[in-house]
Chains A and B, each alone.
Chain A
């Protein structure tokens, strides 16, 4: 019983699977949280979700081709991102239609490739691995690659921070300043594809949305400044991933020798964070809401 609650920290950190999981998981958290904020502000939540789902076809293909899952996920996510950019991400209705069409085609391909992978290779667990992630089964050699990609992504976000923020506020205002909106949107979509690929390996292709939108959604409810929104989203995402890994590892002792999947815990935690932020604003945000509303006297002059 005591064993079930007390974490054996030295064993936890000494486990090489845990080490790899922590590094790649934290990378996935940082990328997804920061891109998630832009994704929500631009109203691209559905596109972000679709990229994760579609990358599963690449994950399945990687089993067939015998290549690293990362390149499989990434290749497919980028192909989908380019297709979306080409089909047009302009108007919300057109965008959802284009996204839906790409999503349908991608999932159909996933069905075929997973079937082929199951019947022609010995990788029997490929379906679960592709769809629900395999954080504890990743090769340690992947960690430096993911670290590098994450560092690159964060650099691009920091560099493009203000133009991207202005695009998020109003794309026409950005265009009027001569900001290359179409180019930046393409870069953003490619980064979103990268985020989807990395979180596909972490929590699985179809759960990638949770890491992208959960922490960012929670942060946007709480933060009133852009920088705070990014920092808070990153903090919440890292918290969910690290705690999820710990709980999954520890759950081995709760369920007599079978640990529950890490994806479940991470997704559950992001959901709790989102709901918690909602409750927080409902109870504590009420007062800030009323002071934020314009006083009636000021309204008479300037509304």
Chain B
């Protein structure tokens, strides 16, 4: 059922054109184009300092942009804020914070409202559903500051989901997770996209854990980006152009390794030495 906030079928949910961002006199993002339709899981891949966080903050309207346009559901970012959920990169709650997981999730709905929480009932069903969606029921009543890093992350994802956003931005959600938690979070992202029709933009410095669910890839190097499907982007010619020097793409058991070429061409020794182990799960203690 179309309403004023739903974009026309042809119009993408998120449309970025020629985005440029300057920070401290440096061009952090330059000429970036990205267009995402509903129901797409897009990875934003780049090394430390590549500009991933800057791009997410620009989409949220928290970062002033120097040039270009960002449109959400056909409108400006400010008007479409309710459509976006955000999970920041650095999450560390004060151990003294007297908030339970459940309270944080509820604040996802009620945080903007002034006045005392009179109508809590109204929020409780949505809160419960969001907690269940991320598998956080069993620590719903624990204090945020006493949860593990991965549990805090789930709490924040539930906080972002409870408003039923159409676009979910996650900044390095896999950075602090062990193998098992990584797998379950990647599965969760896949479910959100496939079953609930969300659009997810997730940053990572390593694309490999995301490959099973990734529809689209934005590969950021030095503020410039290559965009497309994994097969379109993760190719020596595309990435060499992006890096500005020749790179080799190694593929092993469905995982990628991008390496600068050896000075004297693609030497066999180097490739043999960097053979990847098969992607069997490491044994957890």
Contact = CB atoms under 8 A, between A and B. Distances in A.
Contacts of A160: 114
Interface stretch (A71-79, A204-212, A221-229): A221-229
B98 A223 contact: yes
Contacts of A223: 98
A301 B114 contact: no
A294 interface: yes
Given A178-B81, A225-B103, A301-B135, A173 B86 contact: yes
A303 B114 contact: no
Contact of A176 (B86, B116, B146): B86
Interface in A245-303: 289, 292-294, 298-303
Contacts of B97: 41, 168-169
A170 B93 contact: yes
Interface residues of A, number: 40
A226 B98 contact: yes
Interface string B80-93: 01001110100101
A301 B81 contact: no
A220 B112 contact: no
Interface in A152-167: 158-163, 165-166
A169 B142 contact: no
Contact of A226 (B99, B112, B147): B99
Contacts of A298: 138-139
Contact of B112 (A43, A172, A177, A224): A177
Nearest to B178: A303
Given A225-B98, A225-B100, A226-B98, A162 B151 contact: no
Interface string A47-82: 000000000000000000000000000000000000
A113 to B, nearest CB: 37
Contacts of A220: 96, 98
B106 to A, nearest CB: 9
Interface string B109-129: 011111111000000000000
B148 interface: yes
Contacts of B142: 292, 294
Contacts of B148: 294, 299, 303
B115 A159 contact: yes
B143 A163 contact: no
Contacts of B84: 176
A303 B60 contact: no
B181 interface: yes
A226 B81 contact: no
B94 interface: yes
Contact of B111 (A179, A221, A225, A228): A179
Contacts of B177: 303
Given A41-B96, A169-B93, A169-B97, A301 B86 contact: no
B184 interface: yes
B21 interface: no
Contacts of A299: 148
A236 B59 CA distance: 45
A17 interface: no
B62 A176 contact: yes
Interface in B46-82: 60, 62, 78, 81
B146 A293 contact: yes
A162 B136 contact: no
Contacts of B181: 301-303
Nearest to A229: B98
Contacts of A41: 94, 96-97
Contacts of B88: 170, 172-173, 176
B159 A173 contact: yes
A220 B97 CA distance: 8
B247 interface: no
A303 B151 contact: yes
A174 interface: yes
Nearest to B111: A166
Q: What 3 A-B pairs have minimum CB-CB distances, sorted nearest first?
A: A176-B86, A166-B111, A303-B150
18 contacts: A40-B96, A41-B96, A158-B116, A161-B115, A162-B111, A163-B114, A166-B107, A169-B97, A169-B104, A172-B62, A172-B88, A173-B159, A175-B62, A177-B108, A179-B112, A223-B98, A302-B138, A303-B151
